[in-house]
Amino acid sequence: MSYYIGTELQDELIIDKVYTIHYFEYAKGFAFKGESHDFWEFVYIDKGEAQVTAGNHTMSLPHGNIIFHKPGEWHNICSEAASNSVIVSFESHSPAMSFFENKILQIGNIQKRLISKIIAERINTFEGPLGDPYAARLNRKKDSPIGSEQLIKQYISELLILLMRNDDTMQMTTFKSHITDTTFDEIEAFMSKNIHRSLSLTEIASVANISVSSLREIFRTNASCGVIEYFINMKIEQAKRFIRDDNYNITQIAELLGYSGPHYFSRQFRQKTGMSPLQYSKSIKSMVKEDI
């Protein structure tokens, strides 16, 4: 006879369905015509700033902020300058979701990583580009990794729970991980300031006052990629913003980002995005012209 008694764990938040998971890169002058639907949606501004309307209220949403649209709420988004956003729409009938009505919250590092994980699993699990505004449903890949849909549900739930526990920025972390986060942020700021240069591992480690091996470990933990790869990705993201702002030509952008020439820049841009800078420019401009 067993003396153990199992405990049925309670779910405060249940995600019933996911409708869309988007990562948008808005060109200057982008405007969405607006919509309402009978499920939840959150909009997180990953870069830049966007103007968001929720019901009768319009506000500027800066980088690092997230807004929730409750079921039935009319909403839209526009961007005067280049900006990026993550938009996730989902169904939940949990009473706890009432916390998010009319809420704008600031995102911390822990929540930001969860949003990155949601995007990563979306890529692993479902077909189609992340930035297609006309996608009305998620189409499963035939070869998606085991448990990928469950992870998406788990990451969304965890994000919501952490936001509920503290509606500023959640910082429940160990002292060691806090130091790691701070170092990563400082290195990222240094890279951003020197986006026009070529940086070596030795120089970056020296600025952070750590060893090269520690530097690599910090990026494995915080970015899931190599140091130089992360820096290249930053250059490409900045290049996208330059292209969307439409103030520089390709040669000027290559020079501003420290490339030896436009051909090398274009080759690396294609490797990272799957399209040339010119193709990217055309795709962005076509999105602005269409009545989305």
Tens-digit pLDDT profile for residues 272-288: 888 899 888 877 655 54
148-165 vs 109-125: helix crossing angle, rounded to 10: 160
Query: Helices marked H in 166-274 — which ranges?
Result: 175-193, 201-208, 212-222, 227-245, 250-256, 262-273
Residue 3, in any domain of the structure? no
Q: Is 106 helix (H, G, I), strand (E, B) or coil?
A: strand
Same structural domain for residues 145 and 220?
no
Reply yes or no on whether the pLDDT at 66 is more than 70: yes
Q: Does 197 fall in a domain?
A: yes
Q: Which of 165, 194, 210 is the last residue of a domain?
A: 165
pLDDT at 133 over 90: no
pLDDT score of 178? 47
Amino acid 170: pLDDT: 35
pLDDT band at 167 (very low <50, low <70, confident <90, very high): low
The contacts found for 3-11 with CB under 8 angstroms, 24 or more apart, are 11/94
**What is the pLDDT at residue 236?**
92
Q: What's the whole-number mean pLDDT along residues 143-172? A: 83
pLDDT per position as a tens digit, 91-132: 999 999 999 998 899 888 889 899 999 999 999 999 988 888
Mean pLDDT over 190-219 rounds to 90
If asked whether residues 150 and 191 sit together in one domain, one would say no
> What CATH number is given to the structural domain containing 239?
1.10.10.60
Distances, alpha carbon 19 to alpha carbons 60, 96, 153, in Å: 25, 20, 12
Number of structural domains (the chain) is 2
For residue 144, the 8-state DSSP code is P
pTM for this model (two decimals): 0.63
Whether residue 216 sits in one domain with residue 144: no
Q: Residue 245: which pLDDT band, with cuts at 50, 70 and 90?
A: confident
pLDDT exceeds 60 at position 193: yes
pLDDT reading at 235 higher than 90: yes
- Which of these three, 119, 145, 165, is where a domain ends? 165
Q: What's the confidence (pLDDT) of residue 180?
A: 58
Local confidence band at 181 (pLDDT 50, 70, 90 cut-offs): low
Q: Does 202 share its domain with 127?
A: no
Domain that residue 212 falls in: 175-289
